[in-house]
């Protein structure tokens, strides 16, 4: 384990210490006031209940558009119990409040809550023989609205609760090394998980004004237990991957006296994934790893979703594609499309199609610029892009900023060379830079969008993009694809750092 002097603990000026202490005090105060957590649960349940009733209203309106007969009293009377079943299913699935659930897992549970409501309603109607009295169209339309809208509404409600300082549960971080720092950054960035780090502890006394990624460093394990007892904090995360198993067992034994929830960060980075399952093998702890990409049915489902979404979406945006093609030709005269050899699944090369955003002699110009400018060469080596690239045309800058230049890749998706979501389509010359992760990343077709697209787009280094792609492959699921597609829309609309 690193000594405290070797970790990321830094100091701040006197006024910074006061600010950090005040921020910490506010977090601790929030953590001990359990009525805030109950208020969070009440707000989530109330918003879900209101949404359910609104969905029944929308379903009724859609039904009346196709059917002229009035709803039966049984159909109207079943709305309240059906709503109760839906809310109850969400409660049983741990969605109130749902701390610790990543976006993909939360979406999966929300989808299951709708399917559970449908199954429960159909079973009840069959048992009491009221199937003919219930409006199938009403239930079908209403539950479809819930399936689509509920995740969006929940995100908005959580965002408002976060701004009101109601969302989140205080946790302490045990470990002030690089793993602890990375964990704090992750929890601060992924606020939807609901874990708010309020203090960091390690093996050494707290230095004056010590901070780790803006979170106060408060000393040793003994100090952590004292803080937990004083402020009724019940959750701690061990971020000490270098500690021996015996020492870790002793530390956890100490923590059990004051902390009800203990999360241990493993030292299996690059091995474990979101599908990991703990196994008790006759008293021996084991970790089961599930690789969805080895499931042929999962891959067939992904391919089916690609085809359906591409065909339907392509038909809708056909006028847009024609309009962009015309503007490109008028702006710089020349070919409308640009093709480049990219590495596809299993390293097989394919021609990646995009709208042309650069001058026709872009590659020759790039080689000349990199030879003439050391600064440009350094920037290109780090990001594999140039922020102020003189080769980009006027319309090209707009297309890149909005990612519209990638729409022709829908043709690559139809051909099976790409997927809607996947790793970045790498150039063959980038193979050596990808490093040992290449074999894992190239197990699947590259995507039009991916984790790299929604986690900073061009604001992250090439190395970070590779790490994100490796994470995607190891953690792939249909739910993760849906989350990335939704975040891509948000990134395209609100991200202004693209070039």
Instruction: Find the helix or strand (DSSP H, E) in which 31 lies.
Output: helix 14-32
Write down the residue that tokens 């929890």 correspond to.
187
Residues 197 and 258 in one domain: yes
- Classify residue 334 as left (phi > 0), alpha (psi -120 to 50) or beta: left
Neighbours of 253 (CB within 10 A): 9
Mean pLDDT across 257-274: 72
Q: Which two tokens stand for residue 406?
A: 């990638």
Peptide bond between residue 398 and the one before it cis (omega within 30 degrees of 0): no
Neighbours of 119 (CB within 10 A): 12
Q: How far apart are CA 238 and CA 252, in angstroms?
A: 9
Q: Exposed/middle/buried for 39, CB within 10 Å: 0-12, 13-18, 19+?
A: middle
Strand order of the β-sheet with 211-212 is 211-212, 215-219, 195-201, 169-174, 235-238, 261-264
Residues 313 and 461 in one domain: yes
Q: Alpha carbon 115 to chain centroid distance?
A: 23
Neighbours of 466 (CB within 10 A): 22
Query: What pLDDT is stored for residue 129 in this prediction?
Result: 60
Residues 61 and 208 in one domain: no
Residue that is last in its domain, among 272, 289, 306: 289
383 inside domain: no
Q: How far apart are CA 191 and CA 169, in angstroms?
A: 11
* Least confident piece of the model among 112-126, 213-227, 230-244, 378-392: 378-392
Q: How far apart are CA 35 and CA 428, in angstroms?
A: 57
71 inside domain: yes
- pTM for this model (two decimals): 0.75
Query: What pLDDT is stored for residue 273 in this prediction?
Result: 57
Which among 407, 449, 419 has a CA at the least distance from the CA of 321?
A: 407
Going by pLDDT thresholds of 50, 70 and 90, the confidence category of residue 32 is very low
Going by pLDDT thresholds of 50, 70 and 90, the confidence category of residue 457 is low
Residues 48 and 77 in one domain: yes
Tell me 206's DSSP state. P
Residues 268 and 327 in one domain: no
Q: How far apart are CA 414 and CA 410, in angstroms?
A: 6
19 inside domain: no
Residues 249 and 334 in one domain: no
- In contact, 420 and 310? CB cutoff 8 Å: yes
Instruction: Please list, in sequence order, all residues whose beta carbon lies within 8 angstroms of the beta carbon of residue 354, skipping any fewer than 6 positions away.
Output: 337, 338, 339, 340, 405, 406, 408, 409
257 inside domain: yes
Which among 299, 169, 166, 329 has a CA at the least distance from the CA of 237?
A: 169
Q: Exposed/middle/buried for 278, CB within 10 Å: 0-12, 13-18, 19+?
A: exposed
Query: pLDDT, tens digit, for every residue of 370-420?
Result: 776 676 677 667 666 666 666 778 888 888 888 888 899 999 999 999 999
Q: Which two tokens stand for residue 333?
A: 């005269």
Instruction: Find the helix or strand (DSSP H, E) in which 75 lies.
Output: helix 73-77
Range ranked top by mean pLDDT from 155-159, 179-183, 288-292: 155-159
* pLDDT over 70, % of the chain: 77
Residue that is last in its domain, among 163, 183, 216: 163
Q: Which two tokens stand for residue 298?
A: 């999962």
Going by pLDDT thresholds of 50, 70 and 90, the confidence category of residue 25 is very low
In sequence order, the β-bridge partners of residue 339 are 353
470 inside domain: yes
Instruction: Please list, in sequence order, all residues whose beta carbon lies within 8 angstroms of the beta carbon of residue 432, skipping any fewer than 6 positions away.
Output: none
Write down the residue that tokens 């999360």 correspond to.
263
62 inside domain: yes
Q: Which residues of 123-154 are buried (b: 16+ CB within 10 A; e: fewer)?
A: ebbeeeeeeeebbebbbebbbebbbeebbeeb
382 inside domain: no
Query: pLDDT, tens digit, for every residue of 115-173?
Result: 998 888 888 777 766 545 566 777 777 888 889 999 999 999 999 999 988 898 888 99
Q: Is the pLDDT of residue 449 over 70?
A: yes
CATH number at residue 209: 3.40.50.720
Q: How far apart are CA 341 and CA 363, in angstroms?
A: 13
Residues 331 and 408 in one domain: yes
Residues 84 and 157 in one domain: yes
- In contact, 345 and 443? CB cutoff 8 Å: yes
Q: How far apart are CA 319 and CA 112, in angstroms?
A: 37
Residues 210 and 282 in one domain: yes
Tell me 153's DSSP state. H
Query: pLDDT, tens digit, for every residue of 75-129?
Result: 666 788 888 999 999 999 999 999 988 888 899 999 999 999 888 888 877 776 6
Q: How far apart are CA 47 and CA 83, in angstroms?
A: 12
| Structural domain boundaries enclosing 99 | 35-163
- In contact, 327 and 399? CB cutoff 8 Å: no
Q: Which residue has the higher pLDDT, 57 or 421?
A: 421
Number of domains within the chain: 3
Residues 229 and 282 in one domain: yes
Residues 62 and 135 in one domain: yes
Mean pLDDT of the chain: 79
190 inside domain: yes
Mean pLDDT across 352-358: 88
Mean pLDDT across 253-275: 74
Range ranked top by mean pLDDT from 41-45, 82-86, 275-279: 41-45
Residues 149 and 83 in one domain: yes
Residue that is last in its domain, among 259, 289, 319: 289
Mean pLDDT across 38-56: 92
């Amino acid at each position: 384990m690193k000594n405290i002097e070797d970790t990321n603990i830094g100091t701040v000026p006197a006024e910074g210490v006061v600010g950090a202490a005040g921020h910490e005090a506010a977090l601790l105060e929030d953590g001990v006031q359990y009525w805030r957590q109950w208020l969070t649960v009440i707000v989530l349940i109330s918003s879900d209940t209101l949404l359910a009733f609104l969905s029944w209203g929308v379903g009724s309106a859609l039904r009346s558009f196709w059917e002229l007969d009035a709803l039966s009293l049984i159909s109207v009377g079943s709305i309240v119990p059906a709503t109760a079943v839906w809310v109850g299913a969400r409660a049983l699935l741990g969605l109130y409040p749902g701390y610790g659930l990543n976006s993909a897992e939360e979406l999966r549970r929300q989808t299951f809550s709708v399917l559970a409501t449908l199954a429960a309603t159909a079973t009840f109607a069959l048992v009491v023989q009221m199937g003919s009295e219930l409006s199938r169209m009403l239930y079908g339309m209403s539950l479809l609205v819930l399936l689509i809208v509920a995740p969006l509404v929940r995100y908005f409600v959580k965002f408002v609760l976060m701004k009101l300082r109601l969302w989140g549960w205080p946790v302490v971080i045990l470990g002030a090394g690089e793993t602890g720092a990375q964990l704090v950054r992750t929890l601060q960035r992924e606020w939807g998980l609901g874990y708010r780090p309020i203090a960091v502890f390690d093996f050494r006394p707290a230095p004056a004004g010590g901070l780790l990624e803006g979170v106060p460093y408060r000393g040793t394990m003994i100090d952590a237990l004292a803080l937990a007892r004083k402020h009724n904090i019940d959750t701690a995360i061990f971020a000490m991957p270098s500690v021996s198993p015996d020492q870790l067992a002793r530390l956890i034994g100490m923590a059990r006296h004051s902390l009800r929830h203990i999360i241990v960060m493993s030292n299996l980075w690059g091995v474990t994934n979101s599908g990991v399952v703990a196994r008790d093998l006759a008293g021996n702890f084991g970790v089961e790893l599930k690789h969805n990409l080895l499931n042929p049915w999962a891959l067939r489902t992904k391919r089916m979703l690609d085809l359906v979404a591409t065909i339907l979406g392509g038909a809708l945006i056909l006028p847009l594609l024609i309009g962009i093609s015309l503007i490109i030709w008028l702006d710089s005269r020349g070919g409308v499309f640009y093709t480049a050899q990219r590495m596809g699944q299993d390293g097989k090369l394919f021609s990646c199609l995009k709208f042309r955003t650069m001058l026709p002699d872009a590659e020759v110009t790039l080689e000349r610029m990199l030879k003439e400018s050391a600064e440009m060469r350094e920037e290109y080596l780090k990001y594999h892009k140039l922020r102020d690239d003189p080769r980009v045309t006027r319309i090209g800058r707009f297309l890149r900023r909005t990612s519209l230049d990638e729409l022709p890749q829908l043709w690559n998706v139809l051909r099976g060379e790409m997927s809607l979501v996947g790793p970045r389509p790498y150039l063959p010359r980038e193979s050596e830079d990808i490093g040992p992760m290449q074999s894992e990343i190239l197990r699947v077709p590259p995507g039009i969008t991916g984790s790299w697209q929604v986690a900073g787009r061009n604001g992250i280094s090439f190395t970070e993009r590779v790490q994100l792609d490796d994470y995607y492959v190891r953690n792939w699921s249909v739910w993760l694809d849906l989350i990335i597609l939704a975040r891509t829309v948000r990134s395209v609309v609100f991200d202004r750092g693209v070039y």
